[in-house]
């Protein structure tokens, strides 16, 4: 009874601020992180392997998948330290290699290259 009322209230609030709510069972990463983290980490692995430039990886996703920004730009926006923390937690939970943070991410975080919040990540930003 209370759960259904809470869900209805939260959904109405989301609607009132122009957002759309979705439902998911309580689980590590829910929907977006379970799908998105491996995607972002795969882009980093591609860059680290020298498969393509950061610009081409990002443009490929923008043009080919119709995303508003590429995965490396999005990673910088989210914060590389935040993404590293999430990836580590998800890898610890699932032991799924797709969630394991690639070496390039750990190196960047250790070096203080955290993305937009630090002024440099995959791209340079003015603070």
**106 domain-assigned:** yes
| CATH (domain of 85) | 1.10.1040.10
3-state secondary structure of 69: coil
The whole-number average pLDDT for the span 45-59 is 98
Q: What is the domain range of residue 79?
A: 30-118
Whether the per-residue pLDDT at 117 is higher than 80: the answer is yes
Whether the per-residue pLDDT at 44 is higher than 80: the answer is yes
Note the residue count of the chain. 127
3-state secondary structure of 102: coil
The sign one gets for the Cα dihedral 102, 28, 95, 60 is negative
**4 domain-assigned:** no
3-state secondary structure of 113: coil
Per-residue pLDDT band for 41 (boundaries 50, 70, 90) equals very high
The whole-number average pLDDT for the span 31-46 is 98
Q: What digits encode the pLDDT tens for the residues 82-110?
A: 999 999 999 999 999 999 999 999 999 99
If one counts the domains in the chain, the total is 1
**7 domain-assigned:** no
Helix ranges, 27-102 (H): 32-48, 54-65, 71-78, 80-94
Yes or no: say if 102 and 40 are a contact pair by the CB < 8 Å rule.
no
**6 domain-assigned:** no
**80 domain-assigned:** yes
């Amino acid at each position: 009874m209370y759960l259904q009322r809470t869900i209805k209230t939260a959904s109405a609030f989301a609607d009132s601020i122009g957002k759309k709510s979705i439902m998911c069972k309580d689980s590590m990463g829910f929907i977006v992180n379970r799908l998105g983290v491996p995607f972002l980490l795969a882009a980093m692995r591609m860059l680290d392997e020298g498969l393509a430039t950061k610009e081409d990886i990002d443009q490929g996703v923008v043009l080919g998948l119709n995303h508003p920004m590429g995965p490396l730009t999005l990673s910088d926006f989210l914060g590389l330290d935040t993404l590293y923390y999430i990836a580590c937690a998800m890898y610890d939970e699932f032991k799924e290699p797709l969630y394991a943070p690639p070496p390039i991410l750990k190196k960047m975080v250790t070096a203080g290259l955290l993305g937009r919040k630090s002024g440099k990540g995959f791209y340079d930003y003015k603070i």
